Amino acid sequence: MVIGDWEILVYKEEKSMETNVIELLEREQPMFHLKSLTQEVPNAENFFFKRGTTETQEFSRTFYTIGKDVLNYIASIVKPDYVTLETGGGYSTVVFATNAKEHICVNPDITANQLVKDWLRDRGYTCDNLYFIEDSSDRGLAKLALSKSSESIDVALIDGSHSFPFPIVDWHFIDLFLKAGGKLLVDDTQINSVKILSDFLLLEPSYKKIAEIGKCIVFEKTSDARAMGWLDQEINKRPLTGFSEPEVARKINPFKAFLQRIGIL
């Protein structure tokens, strides 16, 4: 299967242990995530805003999967010497950890993180390369940025809190670590608060879209030359109406002509 510029490795007779883990997840469907829509936890994401980093073993759990095609994609691009990072956690954490030299997962749910580690260990996988930053991503990534020991990142996934402005904050810090040539996956781009980020990256000269897998857009970071001045950013050179520049001109010019005729302009 080919998605964008990348060939995705799908089922073959001879599969590595790292590829097998995806089918193992699909078969067992482990419940790593805190369940929303319950009396105790009406909204799981809001739960962590109110309580912060916490254990949640007393609450019901469920599973949310990023999608098998995305998991296969991650497995196909992550090499054994890679350092990877994600915001959020779950099945993607398992796939990163079983393919990368080192994986960093930023997730405030202590119980979910332990469930991931237990699941891996119970099936013979090591967790020695898996590191959890058990905090919200705005605080956790800021701490990582201040750490002198932080490494450059080869592949990153933004799939943590979808509340505005978290996806943008996640990218702001991840961009500091992500290597030129590194890959950035942004999931759930159908949600407006995430789409703002993907729309921004589509205009950024230092990023190039290389694949779209369902609701996930994959970017390659092409340069470390990040435009910081607002006048230099492509997003600020475009109209905010959602129309192309010729469409904006067609709508505005007749109105300008009218104002000129009546002497206002």
Count how many domains the chain has. Answer: 1
Each residue's pLDDT tens digit, 48-79: 666 666 677 777 777 777 889 999 999 999 99
Each residue's pLDDT tens digit, 135-188: 999 999 999 988 856 679 999 999 999 999 999 999 999 999 999 999 999 999
214: CATH? 3.40.50.150
Q: Which domain holds residue 201?
A: 2-226
The helix/strand count (H/E) of the chain reads as: 9, 11
In a domain, 68, yes or no: yes
From 23, 1, 129, select the one nearest 73 (Cα to Cα): 1
In a domain, 66, yes or no: yes
In a domain, 171, yes or no: yes
From 13, 11, 132, select the one nearest 75 (Cα to Cα): 11
From 100, 96, 75, 77, select the one nearest 87 (Cα to Cα): 96
Q: How confident is the model at residue 103 (pLDDT cuts 50, 70, 90)?
A: very high
